Structure 1
Amino acid sequence: MNLTAKKGFPANFLWGGATAANQIEGAYDIDGKGMSTSDYAAYKDPYASGKVNNFTFNVTSRELEEYKANPKQYLFPKRWGIDFYHRYKEDIALFAEMGFKVFRLSISWVRIFPTGLEEQPNEAGLAFYDKVFEECAKYGMEPLVTMSHYEMPITLTEKYNGWVSRELVPLFEKYARVILERYKDKVKYWITFNEMNMNLNSLYTGAGVLEDLADDKLQAAYQASHHQFLASALAVKAAKEICPDAKIGCMINQIESYARTAKPEDQLQALKSNQLNMFYPDVQVRGEYPSYINRYFDENGIVLKTEPQDDTILKEGTVDYVAISYYMSHVTEAREDAMKLAGTFDSPIKNEYLPKSQWDWPIDPMGLRISLMKLYDRYGIPLFVCENGLGAHDVISEDGFVHDEYRIDYIREHVIQMKEAIKDGVDLMGYTTWGCIDLISCGTSQMSKRYGFIYVDQDDEGKGSKERIRKDSFYWYKKVIESNGEKL
């Protein structure tokens, strides 16, 4: 029995940064790459309604038809990214200069299987990631690889309406097995699906589903999630066969819900909201559906189409760790639409005790500590904070530098709370900030919503030199890593 309290970050703590293929790579039409759902995320003015719309990454069947028919009339920023495809050596060298122990990135499914339907993978796509991982290895940097990060072959959306169809399960397993086999000696850490619980916010984003073609959005969201649970479990099982020393996890967007008052009704609603958020790791960690979801499905008329082997698949594919993104907490109360708001990205109930970002996101570092404590108490397996960061309108000052002390303040406070969670006994594997270099925003397809330690000279329309400029936060984060979180 070891009753020694932890004092700080462990010596093997994985410090680094996070990105996604569809937000950085560009090169959407070369080396055999197919078209993904992200390639049809057209730029829409997030301020058109008079207040910021944090999630414009939704596509209807009519919009998809229009985008394909008249592509030159629209901007698709995720097609050009920040040209990481050609500048990966430069960017990874900058991450190494900061001292990254780990670099989170994703593999683009359509670089490997351009339509998702091919029998054989695209060698040019596989070779690209070989080079990226070799570059990481040169600096002793571990890749943390997400298999599916908000993109999938658009062909599978058009043919099957995405993950509502069980047909995608074997197609994903084939893809997962190919990349696990190819990179088994280069990648130790994997995540199957990015923020699977975001299916409740945007079905197109998370599951490639055209919502207007679904009879019932909620039914479609949970049916798609069920198929992703199966695909994730099969990928985990494959990983344990192909690369048994690897660690493979699930991931959610962690949204801690606070009760608005001490009223028992509000407290109960907060409990129910948190259950819906943790439903996703409940299934992937425990290998079965939790009992509380039965009543929720019954009251909402949700009837999943399943097959007899599904229970076994889920049991045999439980994950090694739980990864989370953490940007904000929510406030909830007992009201008529409470369960519709549960699990959504942006709550209309604001917390008067918290400051807000330029995108009206509440800033709550202590909520991260609370989340980590609750998740570890619930699952008892390692956790990984693989997204956390501040989107802001950064500007280059007259001296040619970006002075982003607001970002330093934001990350400092979250690092402090992670350290407190470790002292509380949480087994925390690592921390990868989002996004370590400026990239195309997921929700709004903006470039002007910047997260990085590295400024990229590019505007919302893709114009600019793409020069990389170290921000003040670059040098600050380097010291944090050098000191293993002691110099803040």
Structure 2
Amino acid sequence: MKKFKDGFLWGGACAANQCEGAWDKDGKGLSIIDVLSIEEHNRDHVTLELREGVNYPSHKGNQFYERYKEDIALLAEMGVTCFRLSISWSRIFPNGDDEQPNELGLQFYENVFKECRKYGIEPLVTLSHCEMPLNLTKKYKGWANRKCIDFFVRYAVTCFERYKDLVKYWITFNEINFIFNTGYLYQNGGVNLEDGDNKKELIYQVAHNQLLANARCVIESQRIIPGSYCNASLSATICYPRTCDPLDYYESIVDMNEYQYGFLDVMCDGEYNYQWLNTIEKEQLHIETEPEDFVILRKGIGNYIPFSYYFSGISRDRSNSSRGDRTKNNDNPYLTKNDWGFIIDPDGLRNTCEVFYSRYRKPLFIVENGMAKQEELIDGTVHDDYRIEYLRNHIRSLHEAVDDGCDVMGYTTWAPIDLISQGGGIMSKRYGFIYVDLNDDGSGTGKRYKKDSFYWYKKVIETNGEEL
């Protein structure tokens, strides 16, 4: 088989709102996740105020803000060559529409990136990972308002200019297509859904505004950091036909056009696909655009495809008019599920690479892939053979895609260190190679412990994926 290329980037991925904590330190403003209580996760209408006696998971995270040097040293010990992490927008521009950035926030991330560089670790940096300044939601209704485009581009340019000598790999928006799923019009789009809102119209408006912002950021990244990589990331959920019925095959095409290609066609080719345009026309969705938007979209084409992969899906039951939440539409009789109800489909990673690379011919980067489990620390470690088996099978599948000729740049697991989950705001949904002694209520020492998978992944990296 062909080997993973020299310089292939191996690592792990995390997000600011899930790991940093320090929600009110050093001039940081409130983000939409700072007011998302553990009870309100997976909702598109939430209480936008802090309340006494309520658990807000982002306020503590896994203490990365205070312990980043320790955590990066552990990653270096594991041998990672890439660390994906995100910047909290409200650390840089506390209200989102500020004229000047917060220097303490800029300095924090400069310190983090320099710490990575000290160990030869490439930072892969996301500008917006399921968070934005709360003020933009309250004042402008988040990404439903075109004004957020200019605010975001100003934030991105500030980061590009400040970190141009430290960061080469950029992601604008994490899993930009996840707004189709329940709870993520708020988390990804900053839209607090109200009675009377046309949710589908808002989804398409948010998508357009973010795709336009992404294109402008791609243009700016190439101007400021020649040779850099920049694009939004996608939640890759390849859709198989429910049966061999031609109508079920048709439904799988419709799903892929809406949830995958509807975004990738714009990000990689600069054009909306026919199905999106037809949906907007037939359902009479009013989407605010300007003629110049489409010129910018054609100019600001991303130069790689970063995507997360956890599970595959199947086409909807045609007796149900709703396409539903992609995280739940996956009852495949040929595959098993994990403890959280997600399909385990290693071959789906190879299938996804084949489809994306054959369609767009751009290098691929798997920026999230992992397995969650409730775990117990025993004698200072966790024996997580199940995680090793899961990752082994997915890396093997990725290797097959490389052997088929797909150009793959790197692979970062979610997440190298236990953190609070995006879906439920809990610590007990653990993904890491490193166990963090914190509980769902925030209690615990915060001490880090290496799991068995830590040593396994170290060997994978040392051998560039040859020993699994």
Please say if residues 109 and 147 of structure 1, whose CA atoms lie closer than 8 Å, have aligned partners that are also in contact.
yes
Amino acid paired to 1:335: R
The reply on whether 1:272 has 2:257 as its aligned counterpart is no
The reply on whether 1:306 has 2:289 as its aligned counterpart is yes
Aligned pair partner of 1:29 in 24, 29, 48: 24
Partner Cα distance (2:86, 2:388) in 1: 26
- Please identify, of 414-423 and 306-315, the stretch whose mean Cα deviation from structure 2 is larger: 306-315
User: What SS class does the counterpart of residue 485 from structure 1 fall into?
Assistant: coil
Partner Cα distance (1:345, 1:263) in 2: 21
Identity %: 48
Residue of structure 2 in register with 1:76 after alignment: 56
Partner Cα distance (2:228, 2:337) in 1: 38
User: What SS class does the counterpart of residue 169 from structure 1 fall into?
Assistant: helix
Partner Cα distance (2:132, 2:311) in 1: 27
Structure 1 residues 334 and 450: CA distance shift in structure 2, 3 A:
closer
Partner Cα distance (2:195, 2:165) in 1: 42
Aligned pair partner of 1:9 in 4, 9, 15: 4
Aligned pair partner of 1:188 in 157, 168, 190: 168
TM-score normalised per structure 2: 0.97
The CA deviation at 1:212 is: 1.8
Partner Cα distance (1:424, 1:213) in 2: 50
Partner Cα distance (1:333, 1:207) in 2: 25
Amino acid paired to 1:24: C
Q: How many residues align?
A: 465
Aligned pair partner of 2:212 in 212, 226, 230: 230
Please say if residues 312 and 330 of structure 2, whose CA atoms lie closer than 8 Å, have aligned partners that are also in contact.
no
User: What SS class does the counterpart of residue 227 from structure 2 fall into?
Assistant: coil
User: What SS class does the counterpart of residue 232 from structure 2 fall into?
Assistant: strand
Please say if residues 166 and 227 of structure 1, whose CA atoms lie closer than 8 Å, have aligned partners that are also in contact.
yes
Aligned pair partner of 2:98 in 102, 107, 118: 118
Q: Deviations over 1:313-338 (max 9, x none)?
A: 11111101011111101111451435
Partner Cα distance (2:229, 2:316) in 1: 38
User: What SS class does the counterpart of residue 309 from structure 1 fall into?
Assistant: helix
Aligned pair partner of 1:151 in 126, 131, 135: 131
Q: Deviations over 1:60-105 (max 9, x none)?
A: 25x22xx43xx22210011110110110000000000111110000
The reply on whether 1:469 has 2:446 as its aligned counterpart is no
Residue of structure 2 in register with 1:171 after alignment: 151
Structure 1 unaligned spans of 5+: 1-5, 46-55
Amino acid paired to 1:23: Q
Please say if residues 110 and 153 of structure 1, whose CA atoms lie closer than 8 Å, have aligned partners that are also in contact.
yes
The CA deviation at 1:214 is: 6.0
Residue of structure 2 in register with 1:18 after alignment: 13
Amino acid paired to 2:198: D
Partner Cα distance (1:78, 1:310) in 2: 35
User: What SS class does the counterpart of residue 240 from structure 2 fall into?
Assistant: strand
Partner Cα distance (1:345, 1:262) in 2: 20
Map residues 71-150 of structure 1 onto 2, 5 A cutoff: 71-150=51-130
Please say if residues 214 and 231 of structure 2, whose CA atoms lie closer than 8 Å, have aligned partners that are also in contact.
no
User: What SS class does the counterpart of residue 370 from structure 2 fall into?
Assistant: coil
Partner Cα distance (1:401, 1:112) in 2: 37
Partner Cα distance (2:196, 2:310) in 1: 30
Please say if residues 22 and 38 of structure 1, whose CA atoms lie closer than 8 Å, have aligned partners that are also in contact.
yes
Please say if residues 316 and 329 of structure 2, whose CA atoms lie closer than 8 Å, have aligned partners that are also in contact.
no
Q: Deviations over 1:144-164 (max 9, x none)?
A: 000110000000000011000
Displacement over 6 Å in runs of 4+:
none
Partner Cα distance (1:317, 1:436) in 2: 32
User: What SS class does the counterpart of residue 103 from structure 1 fall into?
Assistant: strand
- Please identify, of 280-289 and 448-457, the stretch whose mean Cα deviation from structure 2 is larger: 280-289
Partner Cα distance (2:315, 2:117) in 1: 45
Q: Deviations over 1:390-436 (max 9, x none)?
A: 01001112x33110000000000000000000011100000000011
Please say if residues 156 and 162 of structure 1, whose CA atoms lie closer than 8 Å, have aligned partners that are also in contact.
yes
The reply on whether 1:58 has 2:43 as its aligned counterpart is yes
Aligned pair partner of 2:302 in 316, 319, 332: 319
Q: Deviations over 1:256-301 (max 9, x none)?
A: 1111111000010011111112211111111121122222223333
- Please identify, of 138-147 and 210-219, the stretch whose mean Cα deviation from structure 2 is larger: 210-219
Structure 1 residues 269 and 59: CA distance shift in structure 2, 3 A:
closer
User: What SS class does the counterpart of residue 279 from structure 2 fall into?
Assistant: helix
Partner Cα distance (2:320, 2:300) in 1: 35
Aligned pair partner of 1:369 in 331, 335, 350: 350
The CA deviation at 1:358 is: 0.7
User: What SS class does the counterpart of residue 181 from structure 1 fall into?
Assistant: helix
The CA deviation at 1:339 is: 5.3
User: What SS class does the counterpart of residue 40 from structure 1 fall into?
Assistant: coil
Residue of structure 2 in register with 1:50 after alignment: none
Q: Deviations over 1:114-167 (max 9, x none)?
A: 001111100000000010011001000000000110000000000011000001
Please say if residues 41 and 59 of structure 1, whose CA atoms lie closer than 8 Å, have aligned partners that are also in contact.
no
Superposition RMSD in Å: 1.3
Amino acid paired to 2:45: T
Structure 2 unaligned spans of 5+: none
Amino acid paired to 2:375: D
User: What SS class does the counterpart of residue 272 from structure 1 fall into?
Assistant: helix
The CA deviation at 1:303 is: 2.8
Partner Cα distance (2:326, 2:38) in 1: 20
The reply on whether 1:396 has 2:377 as its aligned counterpart is yes
Q: Deviations over 1:328-370 (max 9, x none)?
A: 01111451435532xx332345112111111011100001100
Structure 1 residues 377 and 214: CA distance shift in structure 2, 3 A:
farther
Partner Cα distance (2:22, 2:196) in 1: 32
Q: Deviations over 1:15-61 (max 9, x none)?
A: 0000000001011111000000111121129xxxxxxxxxx333525
Partner Cα distance (1:429, 1:372) in 2: 12
- Please identify, of 257-266 and 289-298, the stretch whose mean Cα deviation from structure 2 is larger: 289-298
Partner Cα distance (2:366, 2:9) in 1: 10
Structure 1 residues 214 and 142: CA distance shift in structure 2, 3 A:
farther
Partner Cα distance (1:333, 1:439) in 2: 32
The reply on whether 1:430 has 2:415 as its aligned counterpart is no
Partner Cα distance (2:321, 2:309) in 1: 21
Please say if residues 258 and 275 of structure 2, whose CA atoms lie closer than 8 Å, have aligned partners that are also in contact.
no
